[in-house]
Structure 1
Amino acid sequence: MTSAPTPRDLRSELDSLTTEAFRPELAEIDRLPTLDIARLMNGEDAAVPGAVARCLPEIAAAIDAIAERMAQGGRLIYAGAGTAGRLGVLDASECPPTFNTAPTQVVGLIAGGPEAMVTSVEGAEDSKELARADLDALGIGAVDTVVGISASGRTPYAIGAVEHARAQGALTVGLACNAGSALAGAAEHGIEVVVGPELLTGSTRLKAGTAQKLVLNMLSTITMIRLGKTYGNLMVDVRASNDKLRARSRRIVALATGAEDADIERALTEADGEVKTAILVLLADVDGATAARLLQESGGHLREALAAGS
């Protein structure tokens, strides 16, 4: 078992990380007018999309691999600590209402558990063993994907999750914001979005957090596009769980079909409120049961179902 790093070792390690670098030119930032600080911060943020753009080939390769596994029934599992873990939980929690995924299909693990979403859990991020236990509780398997998230790329919890998942035959992705990171090196797909030193030294909830959010948006959204969860740029698998989403469902059916309100209501009734099924009812001129069967046979891909029903 590897011994824990000493405080001196850890300080030396942090000194070597781009995300932890001190910027002398900002040492007087607290004396600037508020508008000037806001301009500085906005300028820093503007550099993030360019850093993500440089990683697009790696991001796309990871997405294709994730989608292939999820099409076989696999899960997408994020694992991280602190801000990185919270971003993973956030992305996972938004998939059921947006894409009608099962709550277990996209999962966010944060070191220390749900309590760590709102408060610090001492020592949790330093434990590879905790990551292994969290994954074992999910019964990780070969069709699953585990995405380790860590701005520094050195967080033991994220690295431990990737190492253990890989040993179980799962697909692994390492998302970090430093070049040559241990996390990216441990994963089959390494994504290193190097955004540079932060406005506040070491505050990786800033540019690094923004970069991670942008990449996670891509991983989940484009994977769901590949899985047939959209029709063009319409969220046809949206779950209508409140008044706003019910109104959005009707609007999506209208945009996809151009049908009149009365026909939309009829189709949604036949489809038990399922947007994708209602669209197929209208565009293929079939009943709800037939539309549901065509979608099942096409693996949920509306374009394929339309082709089969025409």
Structure 2
Amino acid sequence: MTKITEQVSNYSHLDKMSVEELTRNLNKEDQSVPFAIEKALPQLNTLINTIVGKLENEGRLFYVGAGSGGRLSVLDVIELPTTYGVSPDLFNVILAGGKEHLIEAKEEKEDDIHAAWTMLQDKNVSSKDIVIGISASGTTPFVLSALIACKKHQISTGCIVSNPESPIAAQADIPVEVITGPEFVTGSTRMKCGTAQKIIFDMISTTTMIKLGRVLDNQMVNVKLINDKIVDRAVKMLMKHSGLEDYNQAKKLLLEHGSVKEALDIFNLEK
């Protein structure tokens, strides 16, 4: 395989550039990321359809990752129970070094070829679930070993990688290869690779939540009522979809039932 992610930057003498030159060139490089993702949309769509099917049949999603990609998956997953009112067990992350060390760069843990499968077993992973490996290089031992073990146990797998024809992609049932090219700072895959990963995590979680019925029109009607800002937003959602014109009446109904969706269902039943 060719490790494009390790190729020399297209820019030389970064240390001689002005701030204006650096930001202009960084912005130019970042603009290439959506085009790289666009080329991978057919594979990404297949992966998302598979995820939706698994979750509709009582399955779960597990991201397995290390470094920047693994940490970015944690940031996406922790938002979902609040934003969409789903169980915290629906989307999971198996992070090299453990999520409890999220703010530490436990990069040495990515070479552990036993830990990921052990961590998946601790979560009782089964053929109902889907496991997605996250690796810019496509070679991370922590991730690769997990996909190999999943294949032996008939567990569906996918991956998100940034090099073509990688070992991890070869092990995945549904490989998504997003080839973002050499990094601005040679080998620093927290940059374009990380940007692509963040966008893809957003696409996976948002599309999946919509297809699972957690969105009405374009609004998050299952959002948890955790602060005043969200309560106010939810009241206005309920007013829009129910036709209620009295803010206080809508707020009372919302707080009685805990979410816009539940309140709207009750309101429509009692009409």
Q: What is the TM-score of this pair, normalised by structure 1?
A: 0.83
1:153 partner letter:
G
- Closer, same or farther: CA 277–42 of 1 in aligned 2, 3 Å: same
Residue 270 of structure 2 is matched in structure 1 by: 286
Does residue 221 of structure 2 align to residue 236 of structure 1?
A: yes
1:221 Cα deviation after fit: 1.1
Aligned partner (choices 239, 258, 261) of residue 276 of structure 1 = 261
Matches within 5 A, 1:37-116: 37-116=22-101
Return 5+ residue gaps in structure 2 as ranges: none
Of 171-180 and 117-126, more deviation after overlay is shown by 117-126
Does residue 19 of structure 2 align to residue 34 of structure 1?
A: yes
Residue 138 of structure 1 is matched in structure 2 by: 123
SS of structure 2 residue aligned to 1:136 = helix
Between the two proteins, the alignment pairs up a number of residues equal to: 270
Aligned partner (choices 129, 146, 161) of residue 114 of structure 2 = 129
CA separation in 1, counterparts of 2:255 and 2:111?
Answer: 52
2:208 partner letter:
T
CA separation in 1, counterparts of 2:30 and 2:107?
Answer: 30
1:56 partner letter:
L
Residue 175 of structure 2 is matched in structure 1 by: 190
Is the CA contact 2:66–2:107 (under 8 Å) kept in the aligned structure 1?
Answer: no
Residue 184 of structure 2 is matched in structure 1 by: 199
> Which protein has the larger Cα radius of gyration, Structure 1 or Structure 2?
1
Structure number with the bigger relative contact order (C-alpha 8 A, sep ≥ 6) is 2
SS of structure 1 residue aligned to 2:114 = helix
Runs of 4+ residues over 3 Å off in structure 1 = none
Residue 302 of structure 1 is matched in structure 2 by: none
Matches within 5 A, 1:141-180: 141-180=126-165
Aligned partner (choices 212, 215, 232) of residue 247 of structure 1 = 232
Q: What is the TM-score of this pair, normalised by structure 2?
A: 0.94
CA deviation string 1:10-63 (max 9, x = no partner): xxx8xx41011003x522111111011000000100110111111111111111
CA separation in 2, counterparts of 1:111 and 1:215?
Answer: 20
1:115 Cα deviation after fit: 4.5
1:269 Cα deviation after fit: 4.0
- Closer, same or farther: CA 256–162 of 1 in aligned 2, 3 Å: farther
CA separation in 2, counterparts of 1:135 and 1:76?
Answer: 11
CA separation in 1, counterparts of 2:150 and 2:132?
Answer: 9
Does residue 6 of structure 2 align to residue 20 of structure 1?
A: yes
CA deviation string 1:82-141 (max 9, x = no partner): 101101111111111111111211111210113441223253101221111111111101
SS of structure 2 residue aligned to 1:128 = coil
1:181 Cα deviation after fit: 1.4
Of 188-197 and 251-260, more deviation after overlay is shown by 251-260
2:3 partner letter:
L
CA separation in 2, counterparts of 1:56 and 1:222?
Answer: 13
Residue 303 of structure 1 is matched in structure 2 by: none
SS of structure 2 residue aligned to 1:123 = helix
Is the CA contact 1:135–1:165 (under 8 Å) kept in the aligned structure 2?
Answer: no
Is the CA contact 2:67–2:107 (under 8 Å) kept in the aligned structure 1?
Answer: no
1:266 Cα deviation after fit: 3.9
2:72 partner letter:
L
SS of structure 2 residue aligned to 1:234 = coil
Residue 265 of structure 1 is matched in structure 2 by: 251
CA separation in 2, counterparts of 1:116 and 1:215?
Answer: 23
CA separation in 2, counterparts of 1:41 and 1:255?
Answer: 42
What percentage of residue pairs aligned between the two structures are identical? Answer: 36
1:257 partner letter:
S
1:242 Cα deviation after fit: 1.8
